[in-house]
Amino acid sequence: MTTPLNPLIARFDGQPALVAIEQATRFQSLVVEGAKVYDKIVMSSDRMALIDDFWPEENDWRAAYRPYVVKDGVLQIPVRGVLLNNFPWQLYDWATGYDYIARAFSRGLNDPKVNGIAFVIDSPGGEVAGNFDLVDMIYAGRGQKPMRAFAAESAYSAAYSIASAADTIVVSRTGGVGSIGVVTAHIDVSKALDRVGIAVTFIHFGKHKVDGNPYEPLPDDVKARIQARIDELGAMFVSIVARNRGMEEQVIRDTEALTYTASQATSIGLADEIGPLEDGLAAFAAELSTNRKGNAMGQNTSEQTAVDQASIDKAREEGKTEGLKAGATAERSRIAAIVNSDNGKSRPKMALKMALGDKFATLDSDTVVEMLGDMPEEKAESAENTTGKTFRDAMDSGKNPDIGAPSDDEESRVDATLTRIKGPRKAA
């Protein structure tokens, strides 16, 4: 068996990966340097204690490898270096674990001091294992708090998968994104072994137990089986990015795992904005602050509007009640002025009819009294109404007395009087 360079690079030996191959040299350098830091952590830590207490105290040396930085209300989650499954650490620019990202993201969603979450990304990619589950988790968090991904400088393959789950992707002007594909490799060292006279013989149970080993050429049928697996994973990757970015799957598939510059990425929909990281973070924080103030003002305005409307409704109801009282008082005064006038006393029946009739409701008491003066006086026996009720009795009974309509002769006299006082009446 070949000897791996270190335990981190061994994770990728013969395994499918989400890595931009054009950054292979950088990738190898990152895992070599990251392994050095990882060795120190493993040698210096109580592994069980770290599992039980994921977030060390700020003054604990281990806190540097599990950063939780909130600035101006924005949680900055670093997604740097090679991305690793089942890895709960963040090793500066060299490596970042999916477990760490998931823990930081969950903490940020539940932290009241965090208004928004920024993924600060510079990575050539990483492992397939664990990536899609992490991305689904981030995508499910949309709407809870604003999320923005910053490719500063690069967000390739596994890193772009994570970036696509955010609401917005910002790329530095010299940065790049893409490489939406899956890769693995088979290394055949059989000829090299032949040259040095080394032969490897496998003793195994199961026809396919040693498929893909590096000590013999890769058979076509084995290659086809590996290719089918890569195709299946690639289809998952395409589907996830299409969902996250709101794009057609065929458009994503047609990129054929190309990498794109900032301007190219924004033109085809793989990114939204171009700009420096610091400016982007400052703008994000400012937007969040403005939105929070706007929401607070909107809530206060809604509450004040509700109070104001309640006051208006109350005032309207009180005004309506007072208006009805005032109207009733004025109407009683008008009727009394008509009935108790000299002309009304000498014509009590007609006075009561005109005081209560709808036809004369728009006329003031003086006008009605003047009209009564033009009418003949009634006989003394007419002073009482046919029901035996006085005027006060009629008004206090809760309904208008049955006074009947004016006769034709009375109507003619009323019209004549109105004509003299107000001019000809308009036809109804």
The string of DSSP letters for 137-151 reads: HHHHTTTTS-EEEEE
pTM: 0.68
- Answer for the pair 78, 96: CB distance below 8 angstroms, yes or no: yes
Of 123, 154, 157, 161, which one is the catalytic site residue?
157
- Answer for the pair 239, 249: CB distance below 8 angstroms, yes or no: yes
- pLDDT for 181-236, tens place per residue? 999 999 999 999 999 999 999 999 999 999 999 999 999 999 999 999 999 999 99
What is the average pLDDT across 174-183? Answer: 98
DSSP bridge partners of 118: 76, 148
What pLDDT score does 384 carry? 45
Query: For residue 180, what pLDDT band results from cuts at 50, 70 and 90?
Result: very high
What pLDDT score does 88 carry? 94
- Distance, CA of 141 to CA of 137 (rounded, Å): 7
Check residues 420 and 6 and name the one with the higher pLDDT: 6
What is the average pLDDT across 116-138? Answer: 98
Least confident among 77-91, 123-137, 272-286, 369-383: 369-383
Residues of each domain in the chain carrying CATH 3.90.226.10: 7-275
CA distances from residue 170 to 105, 139, 185, 187, 211 in whole angstroms, order as listed: 19, 17, 32, 38, 43
Query: For residue 32, what pLDDT band results from cuts at 50, 70 and 90?
Result: confident
- pLDDT for 410-422, tens place per residue? 556 656 555 554 4
- Homologous superfamily of domain range 7-275: 2-enoyl-CoA Hydratase; Chain A, domain 1 (3.90.226.10)
Residue type, 360: F
Query: CA angle, corner 168, sides to 165 and 171, nearest 5?
Result: 105
What is the average pLDDT across 301-311? Answer: 56
Structure tokens at 335: 């009727």
- pLDDT for 334-360, tens place per residue? 778 877 888 878 878 787 777 777 667
Query: For residue 37, what pLDDT band results from cuts at 50, 70 and 90?
Result: confident
Q: Which of 232-236, 375-379, 424-428 has the highest mean pLDDT?
A: 232-236
Answer yes or no: 397 catalytic: no
Mean pLDDT of the chain: 83
| Percentage of residues of the chain with pLDDT beyond 70 | 75
Q: CB burial class (10 A; 0-12, 13-18, 19+) of residue 285?
A: middle
